[in-house]
Structure 1
Amino acid sequence: MLDRLNVVKQRFDEVSDLIIQPDIIADQKRYVQLNKEYKDLKEIVDKREVYKALLDNIDEAKEIIADGSDAEMVEMAEMQLDEAKEQLPALEEEIKYLLIPKDPEDAKNVVMEIRAGTGGDEASIFAGDLFRMYTKYCESQGWKTSTMSFNEGTSGGFKEVIFEVNGDDVYGTLKFEAGVHRVQRVPQTETQGRVHTSAATVMVLPEAEEFDVELDMSEVRIERTTSTGPGGQSVNTTYSAIKLHHEPTGLIVSCQDEKSQHKNLEKAIKVLRSRLYERELAKKQEEDAARRKSMVSSGDRSAKIRTYNYPQGRVTDHRINLTLYDLSNIINGDIHKIIEELKLAENTEKLKESEVF
C-alpha cells in the first residue's frame, strides 16, 4: 500500500508545481481541474503521513523489543506496538476507500428537478414534501439552495419545481436521489380512509460549466412571455418570463422566477446546459452500470428507488434493501443515514472491482 501512496505523493508534488505556473493559471479549464485534483490528492497525502508515522512506530517498537536490553523500554515498546497494530486495520481500510478513483462530477453543484407523477393532486403535494425535505437537508449541510422555476399544484405542492444547490461535493452526495420516489398514505381528500400510492420523479443534474458543454446559441430559439401565476408587481405586465427551445434535441426550458428578463435568461441557459450535459452523462452511467451491474447509480430515471409508507412510518430504499422506521425525521430532511449507506454500497462495489488491492 505504501508504494501506491508514494505514487500519489509524487503526483501531488507535480500538481503542486503546476498550479503556480502562469500558463496554467491563464488556462481556466486546466487550472480548475488541477485545483480539484490537488484538493483530492492532499486528503490522501495527509493520510499517507499518518500511515507512515504508524509504520515507523511499529518498526521502532520491534527494534527495541528485539534489543531487549532495557526492560522498562521493552514494556513501553510492547504497549506502543499493540496500540499501533490496533489502529492499522481501520486506517488501511480508510486509505483503500480514499484510493478508489473519484468521479470527477462529484464536486459539481447541481440542478434538481422534482416532478409530480401518478396520483393527481396527492402527487403534487408529495413533490412539495420532497422539495421541503431536500431544502432542509441542504441547509443542514451548509449548502445554498435557489429556486429556478416552479409550477404549483392545484391543492398545494408542485407539479414541477426546479432549484439549484451550491456547496462542496453536492453532486457526489445528491446523485443517489435521482429516480422515482413513491408515497403510500391516506390523502386529505380521501373520505374512506384508504391508502393511496402516488409518485414523484427526482432528477439530479450536475451543473455544467461553460467548458463542459459547447452550447451554440444559434440553435436555441428564445421565447419571451409575461409571467403566469399568483398576482403581484411585474406579473402579467412585463415580458420577463423566458422559454428556451433547443432545436437539435427538442429540449424546452422555462424560467420565470426572477422579475428581470436577463436573470431568467441566465438561469434558463444554466438549466439547459445542465440538461444537455446530463444526457451525455446518463449514457456513460448506463454503460458503466451495464459493465459493473451497479444497483446504486444506474442512471435509469424510471427506476423506483424509494418508498415512503406513512401508515407504518417506514422508508425503504429498494436499491440496497434498507428500511428505516423514522419517516417523520426523514421527510423533514434527515436523509443523511440513507445517503451514507448508498455511498458505502457504491464504494464497496468499486473496491471489489479495483485491481489495486
Structure 2
Amino acid sequence: MLDRLQYVKQRFDEISDLIIQPDVIADQKRYVQLNKEYKDLKALVEKREEYINLDGNIKEAKEILADGSDAEMVEMAKMQLEEAQERLPQLEEEIKFMLIPKDPEDAKNVMVEIRAGTGGDEASIFAGDLYRMYTKYCDSKGWRTSVVDVSEGTSGGFKEVVFEVSGEDVYGTLKYEAGVHRVQRVPQTETQGRVHTSAATVMVLPEAEEFDVQIDMNDVRIDYFCSSGPGGQSVNTTKSAVRLTHVPTGLVAQCQDQKSQHKNKDKALEVLRSRLYEQELAKKQAEDATKRNSQVSSGDRSAKIRTYNYAQGRITDHRIGLSIFDLDGFMNGNLHKMIDELQLVANTEKLKESEVF
C-alpha cells in the first residue's frame, strides 16, 4: 500500500507545482481539472501521513516492549500499540476506498427530472413531495438549485418538474436516486381511508459541457410559446418560453422559467445537451452492466428502487434491502444515511473488481 501511496504523493507534489504556473492558470479548463485532482489527492496524502505515523508508532512500541527495562514506558507502549493496531485496519479500508478510480462524471452538476407516474393526482402530489425532499437535501449539502421547467398538477404537486443542481460531486451523490419511487399512503382525497399506491420517476442527468456534446443547431427545431402558470404580467402575453426538438433523436427540452426568451433558450439547450449526453452514458452503463452484475443501479429509470410507506413510517431501498424508519426526517431532506449506504455498497463492488489490491 505504501508503494501505491508514494505514487500518489509524487503526483500531488507535481500538481502542486503545476497549479501555480501562469500558463496553467490561463487555461481555465485545465486549471479547474488540476485543482479538483489536487483536492482529491490532498485527502489521500493526509491519510498517507497518518498511515506512516501509525506504522512508526507500532514499530516504536514493539521495540520498547522488547527491551522491557522501563516499566512505565512499557505500560505506555502497550496502550500505544493497542490504539495503533485498532486504528490501522480501519485506516487501510479508508485508503482502499479512496484509491478506487473515480468516475469522471461524478464531479458534474446535474439536471434532475421528476415525473408523476401511475396514480393520477396523488402521483403529482408525490412528485411535489420528492421535489421538496431533494431541494431540502441539496440545501443541507450547500448545493444550489434552480427550476428549469415545471408542469403543475391539477390538485397540487407536479406532473413534471426539471431543476438544476450545482455544487461539489453532485452527480456522484445523486445518481443513485434515478429510477421509480413508489409511495403507499392514504390520499387526502380518499374518503374511505384506503391506502393507494402511486409512483414517480426520477432521472438524474449529468450536466454536459459544450466540449462533451456538440449539437448542430441545423438539427434542432425551435418553437416559441407563451409561458403558463405563475409569473406575473408576462404570462400568456409574450412568447418567452422555448421548446427545442433534436430531430435526429426526437429528444425534446423546454424552459419557461426565465423571463427572457434568450435565457430560456440557453437553459433549454443545457437540458437538451444533458439528455443527449445521458443517452450516450446510458449505453456505456448498459455495456458495463453486462460485464458485471452491479447491485446498485445508477441509471435504470424503469427500475423500482424505493418504497415510501406512510402507514409504517418506513422507507425501503429495494436494491440494498435497507429500511429506515424515519419517514418525516427523510421527506425533510435527511437522505444522508441512505445515500451513504448506497455509495458504500457501490464502492465495495468496485473494490472487489479493482486490480489495485
Query: TM-score normalised to the size of structure 1?
Result: 0.95
Aligned equivalent of 1:237: 237
Instruction: Please give the residue correspondences for 1:104-143 in structure 2 after superposition, counting only pairs within 5 Å.
Output: 104-143=104-143
CA contact (8 A) 2:221 2:247 kept: yes
CA contact (8 A) 1:137 1:334 kept: yes
Aligned equivalent of 2:54: 54
Aligned equivalent of 1:264: 264
Q: Specify the code of the residue in structure 2 equivalent to 1:136.
A: K
Instruction: Please give the residue correspondences for 1:335-350 in structure 2 after superposition, counting only pairs within 5 Å.
Output: 335-350=335-350
Measured after TM superposition, the shift of residue 68 of structure 1 is 3.8
State how far apart, in whole Å, the 2-side matches of 1:52 and 1:216 are.
54
Instruction: Please give the residue correspondences for 1:35-184 in structure 2 after superposition, counting only pairs within 5 Å.
Output: 35-184=35-184
CA contact (8 A) 1:114 1:127 kept: yes
Aligned equivalent of 1:32: 32
SS at match of 2:89: helix
State how far apart, in whole Å, the 1-side matches of 2:24 and 2:128 are.
45
State how far apart, in whole Å, the 1-side matches of 2:185 and 2:70 are.
72
State how far apart, in whole Å, the 2-side matches of 1:141 and 1:192 are.
40
State how far apart, in whole Å, the 1-side matches of 2:276 and 2:303 are.
21
Structure 1 unmatched runs, 5+:
none
The reply on whether 1:204 has 2:215 as its aligned counterpart is: no
Aligned equivalent of 2:8: 8
CA contact (8 A) 2:178 2:298 kept: no
The reply on whether 1:287 has 2:300 as its aligned counterpart is: no
Instruction: Please give the residue correspondences for 1:276-355 in structure 2 after superposition, counting only pairs within 5 Å.
Output: 276-355=276-355
State how far apart, in whole Å, the 1-side matches of 2:241 and 2:170 are.
28
State how far apart, in whole Å, the 1-side matches of 2:216 and 2:38 are.
32
Q: Specify the code of the residue in structure 1 equivalent to 2:144.
A: K
Question: What CA deviation, in whole Å up to 9, does each residue of 1:278-324 have, x standing for no partner?
Answer: 11111122222222211213521100000111122221110011112
Moved more, 184-193 or 333-342: 184-193
Name the CA shift for 1:231/1:95 in 2 (closer, same or farther; >3 Å).
closer
CA contact (8 A) 2:203 2:299 kept: no
Moved more, 21-30 or 4-13: 21-30
State how far apart, in whole Å, the 2-side matches of 1:282 and 1:151 are.
26
Name the CA shift for 1:195/1:19 in 2 (closer, same or farther; >3 Å).
same
State how far apart, in whole Å, the 2-side matches of 1:354 and 1:314 are.
35
CA contact (8 A) 1:285 1:297 kept: no
Name the CA shift for 1:83/1:18 in 2 (closer, same or farther; >3 Å).
same
SS at match of 1:347: helix
Query: TM-score normalised to the size of structure 2?
Result: 0.95
Identity over the aligned pairs, expressed in percent? 77
Moved more, 158-167 or 58-67: 58-67
Aligned equivalent of 2:247: 247
Measured after TM superposition, the shift of residue 329 of structure 1 is 1.7
Question: What CA deviation, in whole Å up to 9, does each residue of 1:235-292 have, x standing for no partner?
Answer: 1111211111112211111100011112111211111111111111111222222222
Q: Specify the code of the residue in structure 2 equivalent to 1:170.
A: V
Moved more, 61-70 or 304-313: 61-70
SS at match of 1:193: coil
Measured after TM superposition, the shift of residue 231 of structure 1 is 6.4
Q: Specify the code of the residue in structure 1 equivalent to 2:194.
A: R
State how far apart, in whole Å, the 1-side matches of 2:194 and 2:68 are.
78
State how far apart, in whole Å, the 2-side matches of 1:10 and 1:48 are.
12
Root-mean-square deviation over aligned CA pairs:
1.7
